[in-house]
Amino acid sequence: DHFGDMDFKVAGTQNGVTGIQLDLKIDGIAEQIIRATLQQARQARIEILRKMLTTIPRPRPEISSWAPRLVRMKIDAEKIGMLIGPGGKTIRSIEATTGASLEVEEDGTVTIAAYGQEAAEEARRQIEAMTASVEVGRIYHGRVTSVKDFGAFIEILPGKDGLCHISELSDEYVANVSDVCKVGDLVDVKVIAIDDQDRVKLSRRSALKELAGKRGSDGNRHQR
């Protein structure tokens, strides 16, 4: 529009106009100019849409895995501090490892902005794991973080561990905890209780028994 009197932009579909933007360098324009401009814009718009439909006649069933993503999820507002961490350390760590950008609102709404589906889903997975609540009766696949004479401490969720007493490690007699597990081992444990101080009690033997029962019932169904 450098050499003209106006900048007249028209957007729309085959059915009509959806938006107009007009900048003028003069006091006004005549009605016939507006009519002629809209007609020229219509001809150009229809031709552009025809070319577009030739290339892609219908929307793709899925967004490209490389397309930017904006994902919203909700967490317990009381766990916002846990997600952010001291001085923002935890949320920055998630952003650094996933490449996503996170925004947290006071009501617990978390907005994840990422370039690609994989980064967005990984950020969501980390947030869900970090803010999940421990459930009594549920089996977790955890990592042994410490071994004591009386049992093993096992991290079942990020930043959340519980004690598996030596008596809950196995149905058989265990003389030394280190005979069953060592620091860094991944083990299946079942949450059997959470006391009034939020301490989690775990059982490896209960988890193994339950998992063995499930495998057995699956095998019986297959045999039938």
Per-residue pLDDT of 112-146, as tens digits, reads 999 988 999 999 999 998 888 899 999 999 999 99
Within a 10 A sphere around the Cβ of 53, how many other Cβ atoms? 11
Measured distance CA(91)–CA(114) in Å, rounded: 14
Measured distance CA(174)–CA(170) in Å, rounded: 7
pLDDT confidence bin for 218, thresholds 50/70/90: low
Residue in the block written with tokens 């949320």? 91
Answer whether 199's CB lies under 8 Å from 154's CB.
Answer: no
Is the pTM higher than 0.75?
A: no
Q: Which residue blocks in 56-192 are alpha helix, DSSP H? A: 80-84, 89-98, 117-131
Residue type, 123: A
Q: Identify the residue with better confidence: 4 or 70.
A: 70
Q: Where in the chain is the domain with CATH 3.30.1370.10?
A: 68-131
* Phi-psi sector, 87: left (phi>0), alpha (psi -120 to 50), beta: left
What average pLDDT does the segment 183-187 reach? 96
Q: Which CATH entry fits the domain spanning 68-131: 3.30.1370.10, 3.40.50.10420, 3.40.1180.10, 3.30.420.40?
A: 3.30.1370.10
How large a percentage of the chain has pLDDT more than 70? 95
Q: Where in the chain is the domain with CATH 2.40.50.140?
A: 139-223
Q: Which residue blocks in 4-88 are alpha helix, DSSP H? A: 31-55, 80-84
Residue type, 44: A
pLDDT confidence bin for 59, thresholds 50/70/90: confident
Q: Which CATH entry fits the domain spanning 139-223: 3.40.50.300, 2.60.40.10, 2.60.420.10, 2.40.50.140?
A: 2.40.50.140
What is the distance between the terminal CA atoms of the chain, rounded to a whole angstrom? 78
